[in-house]
Amino acid sequence: MPERDDKRKIVLPGAGRVAPQHCVRQLAPLLGRMLLLCLPLFVAGALSGCSAPKRAAVVSLEQPAGKKRVVNRSRYQYHRVRRGDTLYTIAWRYGVDYPDLARWNSIGYPYTIYPGQRLRLSDVADAAASGVLRPTVRQKRAADSSATRSAKSGGAPGKRPSPGAHRTEAGKVATTPRSLLWSWPAKGQVLQRYAKGDPARKGIKIGGRLGQRVAAAESGKVVYAGSGLIGYGRLIIIKHNKNYLSAYGYNRRLLVAEGDVVKRGQSVAEMGEQGGGRPKLHFEIRRNGTPVDPLTLLPRRR
C-alpha cells in the first residue's frame, strides 16, 4: 500500500485569476493593431470635414425690439410681400425710392400690393436673370412715344415744347413744387446725430418725456402708420412730395392713420421709448429713398 502523501496544497487567495498587468500585456498588441486600422479612417474624416465648404449663416430678418434691421439690398433680388407691407415700407426697408420700386414692378398709383406678391428690388434683376436685353425695342418705343407727343402738340418730332406750354391732364399749367420748410418734430436734446454710411444712424434721436407731443416736420400725406418695420416701434411715414419722405419712430401712440393729410406742426404721435430706455423720438428724412442729415434741413435752434 503506497504511502499517503499528507502534504496539503495551499491555495492562495486570487490564485487562478489573471493579474491585471498580465491582461494589459496580452491586449496591448491587439489594441495596437486596432489603432493602426482605425487611424486612417479618423484622419480621412477629419480632412474631409476641414475641406468641406462652410454652410452660410442663416440671416434672420426678424430682430429683437430696439435694434434696427439692417438690410443689405445687394443680397436680395426680390421681396415677398407680407401682410401689413406697403410699397413705402418695403422701399424704406431696402433703402430704395418708392417710385423706382413701383416702376420696376409695373405698379401704378395708388400702389396696391398683395400678400404673397414677389417684388423686384432693382431694375437689373430681371435682365441679369434672363440675360436678355432689348435696347432696340426700348428705343423704338421711345421714338414712337416722342412722335405721338409731337403730333398731339403740333410740333416737329424731337422738338421739346416750351416750359410755358406744358400742361397737365386737367388743363392746368404745371408749376414747380414749392420749397419745403422743415420744422422740428419735437422739443428736446439731440441724443444721437446722423452719420453717413452708418446703417444704425440714418437719422437723429431727440430726447424728451414719455407722451410728449410729436409733430409733422412738414405738410404732407401719411403713407404709413403702424409697427410693421422691426426696430422702429410704432412708426409714421409722411410723404411731402415726390422726392421727400420723413419718418417718426419709437412712438407710444399714433394720432394719425394712413391716408391722412397733415399740416406742418400738427400733432401726429406721442413720444415713447424703445427697449426700456429714455423716452425719445427717432426722426429720419429721406430724399429719393436715400437718408439725409436732418440737421442740414431743420432750422437752427436758438
* Cell numbers describing residue 161: 415744347
Q: Tell which of 84, 101, 128 closes a domain.
A: 128
pLDDT of residue 164: 37
pTM for the complete prediction?
0.58
Residue 66 lies in a domain: no
CB atoms within 10 A of CB 85: 20
236 in helix, strand or coil?
strand
Rounded Cα distance between 302 and 294, Å, is 17
When divided into structural domains, the chain yields a total of: 2
Rounded Cα distance between 60 and 63, Å, is 7
Residue 61 lies in a domain: no
Q: Tell which of 128, 144, 163 closes a domain.
A: 128
| CATH number of the domain bearing residue 120 | 3.10.350.10
Per-residue pLDDT 10s for the chain (302 aa) are: 545 555 455 444 444 444 455 555 565 666 666 666 666 555 455 444 443 333 333 233 333 344 444 445 455 689 999 998 999 999 999 999 999 999 999 999 889 999 999 999 998 644 455 443 433 333 334 434 443 333 333 444 444 434 333 333 333 333 345 689 999 999 999 999 999 989 889 999 999 999 999 999 999 999 999 999 989 999 999 999 999 999 999 999 999 999 999 999 999 999 999 887 899 999 999 999 999 999 999 999 87
Can you name the residues that pair with 220 across neighbouring β-strands? 262
Residue 83 lies in a domain: yes
Q: Are 214 and 281 spatial neighbours (Cβ–Cβ below 8 Å)?
A: yes
pLDDT of residue 274: 85
Residue 112 lies in a domain: yes
DSSP state of 214: E
pLDDT of residue 134: 39
Residue 185 lies in a domain: no
pLDDT of residue 302: 77
Which domain, by its residues, includes 98? 73-128
CB atoms within 10 A of CB 146: 14
| CATH number of the domain bearing residue 267 | 2.70.70.10
Residue 109 lies in a domain: yes
Residue 147 lies in a domain: no
| Same domain, residue pair 197 and 288 | yes
Nearest C-alpha neighbor of 248 from the set 274, 215, 275: 215
Alpha-helix runs per DSSP H in 8-85: 20-51
CB atoms within 10 A of CB 161: 13
Residue 156 lies in a domain: no
Rounded Cα distance between 120 and 104, Å, is 6
* Cell numbers describing residue 134: 432689348
**Phi, psi for 296 (deg, rounded to 5):** -80, -15
Q: Tell which of 82, 110, 128 closes a domain.
A: 128
| Same domain, residue pair 210 and 289 | yes
